[in-house]
Structure 1
Amino acid sequence: MTVRSAWLLPGGAEPGQTREDTRLAPLGTMVPSGELTSRPGVIPGGAPFAASGAGAMSLQVGIGRALVQGTTAQGAYPVAVDAPETVAFDDGDALLDRIDTVVIRVLDQLFDVSGENVALVEVVKGEPLATPAAPTLDPACEPLWDVTVPAGTSAGVGGIDWGTALSDRRRYTVAAGGIIPRASSSLAGAYDGQYADFNGTLYRWSAAADDWQQYPATPLRPLMTRQAAAPPYTPVQTYVDFTAAAWPRITFTVPPSGAVFITVGGLVSNRATDVSTAWLTWRATGGLTEAHGAGNGLSAQSSRVIASRRVYRPGLTPGASVTLIPGWNVSSVGQDTNLANGELSVEFVQ
C-alpha cells in the first residue's frame, strides 16, 4: 500500500494496522478544533503532496503526511502517502468549465456506505457551471489541490494546462501547542493563545477579541523612512512639508504602552550669512498632533551639522493611528545651503 492510515484497519482475519503504518502515520495530539475534533491538514516538512502534471489528463501527487478529520463521532485519521500517487481527470464538459478537487479520502465502513476500510488519494469531480466552484466535500475528505478543467478539454486536444490549472488547497496542521505554518486569517483559532504564521508574521488567537492579533503586539523593530530627494530650497518663514515622493511619510499604530521614541537625523547646513538657518523637522497627525518646530527639529545656523534628534512621546492612545510627515525650513539660500541624507524613525516602547 502506498496510502496508509493508522486507527482504521481492523485486525482479525486481516493484517490490521501494521508496524509500518504506525511508524509512518502522524500520531499524537494535534491542534484541536473542538472538544473531540482536530484541525485537519497537511503535516509540514519538505514539500508534502506536491503536484505535477503526469500526462494530458493526469496529475502526480507526491508523498506526505496528513490528518483527516471525519465527523465528531468518527474522530481523526492519521494518513501517510509513502510513494507518489497518480490521479486521472475526466474530459471537460462540452460547454462549461468545472473545478475538480484532489483529496485524501478515508473510507470507513463503520461510518459510511463504502463497504471498505481504506485511505485514498482521489479526484472529487465538480459541476460544470458558467462560474464553476470547487465541489463540496464529505467528512473524512481533506483537500490538496483544485484543478480547473476548461470546457472541451481532453487528451486529444492537448489536455489540461498544468501551468495554470492548479490551485493550492493544502492547509497545515501541527501538534497541539505548535505554530501553524502558512495559516489563514479566515480560519478561526481553536483556543486562546494559539499561534499561527501568516505570511511570515506571528499571530496569536485572542478568545476575548475573537480575532488573530499580531504577536508581539508591539513591533520589535523600528519603522524608518529615508529622504529620497532635496527640497526646493526656497527661503521661507514657515516650515514646509516634504512631498511624499521626496521623503515618504510614516504611519504607525500606537503600541499598548502608549509611548514611542521619534528620531529625525541628517545633514543640515546653511552658511549663506552669519545668521542663516536650516531645519529638518517632522509633524504628526492622528493619534498624536504635533507641529514642526524647535521641539522636535534638527537645526544649523551659519554652520553644518550631521546629527540626529530623538524625542519621547508618552501618553498616546493605544491602537490609534499616527502619521509622521517630514518637514524643512531654510531662512536664506547661498553658500552650503543643504538638507540631505534625512532619516525619520519610530521606536515602540514595550
Structure 2
Amino acid sequence: MNLRSSWVAETGQTREDTRLTQTGVTTLTNPVQVRSGVLPGSYDGLYRLSGFWTFGSAAMTATVSEGRAVIQGEISQGVYPVTLPTSEAVTFAPGDALYGRIDLLVVKIYDNLYDSSNRNEAKIEIIQGVPGQTPQAPAVPPRSLPLYEVTVPAGASAGNGGIPWASSLKDLRTPVVALGGILPVEGPVLPGAYPGQYQDSGGALQRWDGGAWVSYPSALGGIIPNSASTTPASYTGQYRDTVGGQLQRWNGTAWVPVVTGPYYADNTDYGDTTSTTYTPTLAARATNPIALTFVAPPSKSVLVTFGARMKSANTHYGFMALKLTQGATVVNDLNDEYAAIVASDTTVSVSAMRRLSGLTAGQSYTFTAYFKIAPNTTSIKAGFDNTFIRVDPQF
C-alpha cells in the first residue's frame, strides 16, 4: 500500500514513514515535497539567515556556524531535518600546483537504504572539485544541501597563506520557513507552490498569483509607496509615489509622470520689429527665438497660453502668434485670428489662450513665437517685453 501514516500501526513504523508524514512541513515545492534549505534567524535579529554561516578560521580551515535545515530526498524518501547545535571546523586540501579548483561545502545525508553506504548519519563534508584553467564546482550529491562554493587557488596551503577567505566563499544557502510563513528571499528567486503564498524580497512583500511573484501594493491595486519606489512594476497601469513626491504610472516599458507639465518658457529681454510679415527674431533681443517643446498627453489635447508686454501705435497693430511644429512638419500655422494683438503707443500687457487637440500622444511638439506690425508705412516699431509661452496638458 502506498499510503503512509505515523503513530497508527503498533509496530512497523519506519524511518521513511516518519519523514514522509511530518506535519511541521516547510516551504513547499509540490503537494509532497518541500524545498531544501536553512531555517532563518539570528541571535540579535539583525540578519535574515545566520544558520550554517561559514568563515575562515585558519589558513586552510573554515568554521561552519550552528543552524537548522531540511534536506528533501527523492519524492518517496521524505525530508531529512538536521541540526548543528555547535559550530564545526572543516579543513580543505592544499591547492593544485598549477590550477585553482572550486570545492563544495555541503550537509550530506547518508542513508544506507538508498546509497548502500552502510551509514545512517548526517555530515558536513567538502566535495572536492577538479583543478583547471576555468574550474567548475562539482555536482551536488543526492540528499545533500549545498552551503558554499569555496575557491582554492593554485598552490594554496597552510604554509603560504592558505585560502583568501574574503574572496573565496560563495554563499549558496537559501532559507525555508514553516508552511504558510513568509519566506525571506536569499539567493535565487524560485517559483511559488500555490497562489496566495507570500515572500519578502527584501524590498517588498510579494504574493504568488499562480504564475509570478506580484509585489504587495499591486496585489491590492494600490500605489507603491515612496519607501519601496525601487520595486519593479508588475503590470501596465500600476502607480507609484517617487522619493521626490511625483506620482508615476507604468506604461509597460517605463515609469512616466501621471501629470506632465505645465511647460513654460519666457524671455524677459525687450525686443522690437518693423517687419510686416511674421518673424521669430526681435531686434535688440540677445536670444531668439522663444520656443517651447512639450510632450502630448494621452488626451491628445493641450491648453496653450502666450503673451507679452506690448506696444506699437494707436494706428498700428503689434501681433504675437504661435506656430506649432513636430520636427520639420508644421502642425498648426500662424494665424492672425489666434494672435495676441495690441494697438497702443503705451505698453499694455496682452495674452491669448487656445485649446489644441488631435495631437499624437507621447510625441514631442514645439511652439515657436512669431511677431509683426501691420500696417507699417512709417517704420514704426512693435515692441515686446516679458514674452512667455505656457502649455498645460488636458486630461
- TM-score normalised by length of structure 2: 0.54
Is the contact between residue 107 and residue 144 of structure 2 (CA under 8 Å) also seen in structure 1?
Answer: yes
1:103 aligns with 2:106: yes
Alpha-carbon deviations, 1:29-69, whole Å to 9, x = none?
Answer: 21211232111111111222222111000111112221111
Q: 1:268, 1:202 → 2: CA distance? A: 43
- Choose the corresponding residue for 1:173, options 157, 171, 176: 176
- SS for the counterpart of 1:111 is helix
Alpha-carbon deviations, 1:176-227, whole Å to 9, x = none?
Answer: 22232225566333233333334523444343xx444444246562357799
1:73 aligns with 2:76: yes
Is the contact between residue 184 and residue 201 of structure 2 (CA under 8 Å) also seen in structure 1?
Answer: yes
- SS for the counterpart of 2:200 is strand
Q: 2:54, 2:143 → 1: CA distance? A: 21
Q: 1:29 corresponds to which residue?
A: 25
Q: 1:265, 1:36 → 2: CA distance? A: 59
Q: Structure 1 residues 150, 268: CA separation in 2 closer, same or farther (over 3 Å shift)?
A: same
Q: Structure 1 residues 185, 89: CA separation in 2 closer, same or farther (over 3 Å shift)?
A: closer
1:64 aligns with 2:72: no
- SS for the counterpart of 2:183 is coil
Alpha-carbon shift at residue 266 of structure 1 (Å): 8.3
Further displaced range: 50-59 or 113-122: 113-122
**Coordinate RMSD, CA, aligned:** 4.3
Q: 1:262 corresponds to which residue?
A: 259
Q: 1:73, 1:109 → 2: CA distance? A: 15
Q: 1:89 corresponds to which residue?
A: 92
Alpha-carbon shift at residue 142 of structure 1 (Å): 0.5
- SS for the counterpart of 1:174 is coil
Alpha-carbon shift at residue 172 of structure 1 (Å): 1.4
1:42 aligns with 2:32: no
- TM-score normalised by length of structure 1: 0.60
Which residue identity lines up with residue 250 of structure 2 in the other structure? F
Which residue identity lines up with residue 176 of structure 2 in the other structure? T
Q: 1:123, 1:67 → 2: CA distance? A: 19
How high is the sequence identity, in percent, across the aligned residues? 35
Alpha-carbon shift at residue 338 of structure 1 (Å): 9.1
Q: Structure 1 residues 110, 296: CA separation in 2 closer, same or farther (over 3 Å shift)?
A: farther
Is the contact between residue 197 and residue 207 of structure 2 (CA under 8 Å) also seen in structure 1?
Answer: yes
Structure with the greater alpha carbon radius of gyration: 2
Is the contact between residue 268 and residue 300 of structure 1 (CA under 8 Å) also seen in structure 2?
Answer: no
1:197 aligns with 2:200: yes
- Choose the corresponding residue for 1:54, options 51, 54, 57: 57
Which residue identity lines up with residue 153 of structure 1 in the other structure? A
Is the contact between residue 63 and residue 90 of structure 2 (CA under 8 Å) also seen in structure 1?
Answer: yes
Q: 1:324, 1:111 → 2: CA distance? A: 64
Q: 1:83, 1:279 → 2: CA distance? A: 70
- Choose the corresponding residue for 2:295, options 282, 286, 292: 282
Further displaced range: 141-150 or 99-108: 99-108
Give 1:312-323 correspondences, 5 Å limit: none
Q: Which has the higher contact order (CA 8 A, sep 6+)?
A: 1
Q: How many residues align?
A: 263
Q: 1:51, 1:299 → 2: CA distance? A: 67
Which sections of structure 1, spanning at least 5 residues, go unmatched? 1-6, 8-15, 17-25, 228-249, 304-322, 345-350
Q: 1:12 corresponds to which residue?
A: none
Q: Structure 1 residues 297, 75: CA separation in 2 closer, same or farther (over 3 Å shift)?
A: farther
Alpha-carbon shift at residue 272 of structure 1 (Å): 5.5
Further displaced range: 55-64 or 181-190: 181-190
